[in-house]
Amino acid sequence: MRQIKHLFIFSALVLLMGFSFSNFLGIYHQTILALCGINIILAVSLNLVNGFTGQFSLGHAGFMAVGAYVSAALTTLWLPTLTNPFLMTEIGVNLFFLFALLAGGIAAGLTGFLVGVPSLRLKGDYLAVVTLGFGEIIRIFILNIEPIGGARGLIGIPQLSNLYWIFGFVLLICIWIHRIVSSIPGKQFMAVRDDETATSAMGLSTTRIKVRSFVYASFFAGIAGGLFAHYIAYLNPATFNFNYSFQIVAMVVLGGMGSLTGSVAAAILLTGLLEALRPLQDLTGVDLRMVIYALTLIVLMLTRPEGMFGRHEIWEFFKKFKKSPQGFVR
Amino acid sequence: MAQFLQHLVNGLSLGSIYALIAVGYSMVYGILQLINFAHGEVVMLGAVFGFWLAPKFMYPVEPSLGLFFAVLGASMFLCGLLGFFIERLAYRPLRKSPRINCLITAIGVSLFLQYFTQLEFIFGAIPQTYPEMISQATVFSFAGVDISNLQLIVVGLSFSLMIILQFVVYKTKLGLGMRAVSENTEVAALLGVPVNKVISFTFILGSMLAAAAGTFVATMYPKVDAMMGTMLGMKAFVAAVLGGIGNLPGAVIGGLVMGLAEEFTVGYLSSSFRDAIAFAILILVLLFRPAGILGKTKIEKV
């Protein structure tokens, strides 16, 4: 009964958000919102690795690229060759899109597994550089595959994604990741973050735990990539360079490593900030946006390294005002 | 065969530039255990300073070797200052914080320098041609292998700079301080080594070498670009890891190997894998010999 209630609330929220966003806003604001949603998925999933498992990954855009290209290849190259009449209908196409998204996610998850198994034995900054390297290798690899456009980019992707899809997945993935980090495997992630030696002394395989967190994160990044590809309807390998990975890292760091709502807030803030600073560009004639972005990162580290929310979720701040039961002081 | 030898020569001259940059990474890592992501941007700024200064110096004198040395010296001086301020303003306040915070700051500094240089009134996003200070000529030709004067100058100067560095690190008092701090910061401080001064000095030295490398790159491939530092920096970092990070001769060997690997990839495979080869090497090294060629394996203690 409870599940049905939750499912009902969930679909009502998605419909409401999708409906209001796509009917009361112009195309420009809709695109910003869509990018916000995609960045939320990326930031929240990267937080699983960087925040909850304490491993510093810098190659998230690479996994997003895998998901984007796999799902776009399915809908652009494979879908037109299929002659099943069901796939001509509205529902059929959308179901195929869902299938393509999941296939992209699974492909990204597999890539995450292949990258994670060798590289997660490394620690700290070495891991950061290796993941950055893998991200770049994935991008250069895509650059050299001719059937999906190579360096020219993949054009003619059907625009199947919309705000309903994006915000549906945003809600779904946020809840999903929240459930992961509240479960036993999620506690294992945090155990690895807090003390890796102690965790392995407890008889847990830390590499397995880290790879698991990495595969989850890559899977969600792949789905975000698929949504991105079918919203913009054009893919170029240059989009997924390491500056994009840095941007996602900046969102996670700004929100607070280990806070899901922090990542959501930071993703909205930074995506919105970049757009809000566009008038500044018109005013001064120069593109100051990325400079301000980089300065934010430095100043944040110097003054508030734990980010906006630290390791807390937003509702924990409201809990403080409530009276504790039986007069216990928390 | 001639082609092979030509690639070898080109690879060595490129490799000596990587070695110069890698030495800077290695020194900073040895002392602070920090990957100074901004190092590549210092290389880029070394080239940009040269781009600004050369026309100003050129006015009274003709393009010559002396002019090249003047520009090189000025750009090294400016980058040394820049390195000092980067350490002072961005890294020193974070000395005691977790390493991940320092890493994020380093990324932030790197992005800041890159995008700041891209601003229209600073340098702009469009690649520019580096002023020609020495006209390229083949000075030595043997069995179909051409060695240009630029290659000779670059390799010669790179190795002299690295020999000077070796002298500074092993024969002077500040070098002794550097080695002491990289061994153990706290004990060095207790024994009276001025740690902050030594760290500043390390950054200045590394940035000066980076400026030299930037000038050499811009002279050999006459192009200046605000984005050029990132890739150069990453490759040099790979070189440092390959040789054993924190180890200066290792960084030189790593740099030469990287230069050769890149040149042979371009020559015999495809130029589109130019950047991928660096990361492939990095991944192989970290998987099979994480300490690098000359590095010592460390055992983790609880």
Q: What is the mean pLDDT of residues B160-170?
A: 92
Does B104 sit within 8 Å of A249, measured CB to CB?
yes
Burial of B263 (0-12, 13-18, 19+ CB in 10 A): buried
Task: Identify whether B114 is part of a domain.
Answer: yes
Contacts of A140 in chain B (CB under 8 A): 272-273, 275-276
| Minimal C-alpha gap between B276 and chain A (Å) | 5
Is A82 part of any domain?
yes
Distance CA B86, CA B38 (A): 9
Q: Pick from B233, B191, B225: which is nearest to B42 by CA?
A: B233
| Contact yes or no for A129 and B237 at CB 8 A | yes
Residue pair B11/B260 in contact by the 8 Å Cβ criterion = yes
Flag if A288 and B119 touch (Cβ within 8 Å). Answer: yes
Whether the CB of A134 is below 8 Å from some CB of chain B: the reply is yes
Percentage of chain B modeled with pLDDT above 70: 96
Alpha carbon separation from A294 to A103, A163, A251, A274, B197 (Å, rounded): 35, 29, 12, 12, 27
Contact A294 B112 (CB under 8 A): yes
- Residues B111, A290: C-beta atoms closer than 8 Å: yes
Residue linked to tokens 């949504």: A227
What is the pLDDT, as a whole number, of residue A323? 53
- Contact residues, chain B, for A297 at CB < 8 Å: 104-105, 107-108, 111
Residue B297 maps to a domain: no
A144 and B CB contact within 8 Å: yes
| Residues B68/B135, Cβ–Cβ less than 8 Å | no
Q: Is the pLDDT of residue B34 over 90?
A: no
What are the pLDDT digits (tens) for A173-195? 998 999 999 999 899 999 999 88
Quick one: residue B72, left, alpha or beta (phi over 0 = left, psi -120 to 50 = alpha)?
alpha
Identify the pLDDT of residue B300.
53
Q: Does the distance separating the beta carbons of B283 and A298 come in below 8 Å?
A: no
- Which residues pair with residue B141 across a beta bridge? B146
Find the domain containing A54 and state its range.
2-241
Testing the interface with A: which of B116, B269, B279 to mutate, by most A Cβ within 10 A? B279
In one-letter notation, the amino acid at residue A97 is F
In a domain, B242, yes or no: yes
The pLDDT value recorded for residue B3 is 84
Is A65 inside any structural domain? yes
The answer to whether residue A116 is domain-embedded is yes
Q: Which of A220, A235, A214 is nearest to A74 (CA)?
A: A235
- Cα(A262)–Cα(B157) distance, integer angstroms: 51
Residue in chain A lying closest to B230 (CA): A242
Give me the residue label for tokens 């792949």: A222
pLDDT digits (tens, 9 = 90+) for B189-211: 999 999 999 999 999 999 999 99
Q: Residue A272 domain-assigned?
A: no
Q: E strands, B116-251, where? A: 138-142, 145-148
ipTM confidence score? 0.78
In the predicted model, what is the mean pLDDT of chain A? 85
Tokens linked to A308: 């906006």
Q: Inter-chain contact B101–A301, Cβ cutoff 8 Å?
A: yes
Residue of B249, B17, B75, B109 whose CA lies nearest to A299: B109
> Angle at the Cα of A247 (from A246 to A252), degrees rounded to 5?
95
Burial of residue B227 (number of CB atoms within 10 Å: 0-12, 13-18, 19+): middle
Residue to substitute from B37, B115, B237, interface A, most A β-carbons within 10 A: B115
Cβ–Cβ under 8 Å, residues A17 and A167: yes
Instruction: Please tell me the predicted confidence (pLDDT) of residue A330.
Output: 42
Test A301 with B278 for CB contact under 8 angstroms.
Answer: no
Mean pLDDT score, A37-42: 94
How close does chain B come to A164, measured CA to CA in Å? Answer: 34
Checking if the pLDDT of B224 tops 80, the result is yes
DSSP B299: P
Q: Which of A136, A286, A298 sits opposite B279 (nearest CB)?
A: A136
Q: What's the domain range around B100?
A: 2-288
Residue A311 lies in a domain: no
Residue A227 confidence (pLDDT) above 90:
yes
- CB A294 to CB B286 under 8 A? no
Residues of A in contact with B266 (CB under 8 A): none
Give the closest residue to B210 by CA, choosing from B79, B67, B109, B72. B79
Identify the pLDDT of residue B59.
65
Residue A328's pLDDT band, with cuts at 50, 70 and 90, is very low
Please check whether residue A284 lies inside any domain of the structure: no
Most confident of A147-151, B119-123, B130-134, B176-180: B176-180
**Residues above pLDDT 90, as percent of chain B:** 37
Q: Find out whether B247 and B295 touch, Cβ atoms under 8 Å.
A: yes
Q: Choose the mutation target among A125, A254, A284, A290 for the interface with B, i.e. most B CBs under 10 Å.
A: A125
Rounded to whole angstroms, the Cα distance separating A282 from B169 reads 50
3-class SS letters over chain A: CHHHHHHHHHHHHHHHHHHHHHHHCCHHHHHHHHHHHHHHHHHHHHHHHHHHCCCCCCCHHHHHHHHHHHHHHHHHHHHHHCCCHHHHCHHHHHHHHHHHHHHHHHHHHHHHHHHHHHHCCCCHHHHHHHHHHHHHHHHHHHHCCHHHCHHHCEECCCCCCCHHHHHHHHHHHHHHHHHHHHCHHHHHHHHHHHCHHHHHHCCCCHHHHHHHHHHHHHHHHHHHHHHHHHHHCEECHHHHCHHHHHHHHHHHHHHCCCCHHHHHHHHHHHHHHHHHCHHHHHHHCCCCHHHHHHHHHHHHHHHCCCCCCCCCCHHHHHHCCCCCHHHCCC
Which of B108, B120, B121 faces A294 most closely, judged by CB atoms?
Answer: B108
Rg (CA), chain A: 20
From the list B110, B82, B68, the residue with the least C-alpha distance to B216 is B68
Query: Three-state SS for B147?
Result: strand
pLDDT score, position B273: 79
Closest CA to A172 of A13, A2, A5: A13
Residues 58-117 of chain A whose Cβ lies under 8 A from any Cβ of chain B: none
Beta strands in B79-194 (DSSP E): 138-142, 145-148
Q: How many CA atoms lie within 13 A of B218 on its CB side?
A: 34
Coil, strand or helix: which one is B139?
Answer: strand
User: Is the Cβ pair A125, B35 closer than 8 Å?
Assistant: yes
Q: How far from the centroid of its chain's Cα atoms is residue B209's Cα?
A: 6
Provide, as residue numbers in chain B, all residues whose Cβ is less than 8 Å from the Cβ of A143: 272
Chain B residues inside the 8 Å CB shell of A124:
99-100, 103
A253 touches chain B (CB under 8 A): yes
What is the maximal distance between C-alpha atoms in chain B?
64
How many domains does chain B divide into? 1
| Count of structural domains within chain A | 1
CA distances (Å), origin A253, targets A225, A295, A297: 21, 13, 8
pLDDT score for B206: 93
Cβ neighbours of A293 in B, within 8 Å? 111, 115
Compute the distance between CA of residue B150 and CA of residue B130 in angstroms, rounded to an integer: 14
pLDDT reported for residue B53 = 87
Q: Is A271 part of any domain?
A: no
CATH number, domain with residue B82: 1.10.3470
pLDDT of residue A284: 67
Give B270's contacts in chain A (Cβ within 8 Å).
144
For chain B positions 46-75, those within 8 Å of chain A (CB to CB) are none
Nearest to A124 among B99, B119, B287 (CB): B99
* Within-domain flag for A201: yes
- Answer whether residue A202 shows pLDDT above 60: yes
How is residue B94 written in tokens? 């974070």
The average pLDDT across B146-152 equals 86
pLDDT digits (tens, 9 = 90+) for B53-79: 888 876 666 677 888 888 899 999 999
Mutate to test the interface with B, among A53, A60, A137, A146 (most CBs of B within 10 A): A137
Lowest mean pLDDT among A74-78, A276-280, B41-45: A276-280
Range in A55-69, A193-207, B235-249, B266-280 with the lowest mean pLDDT: B266-280
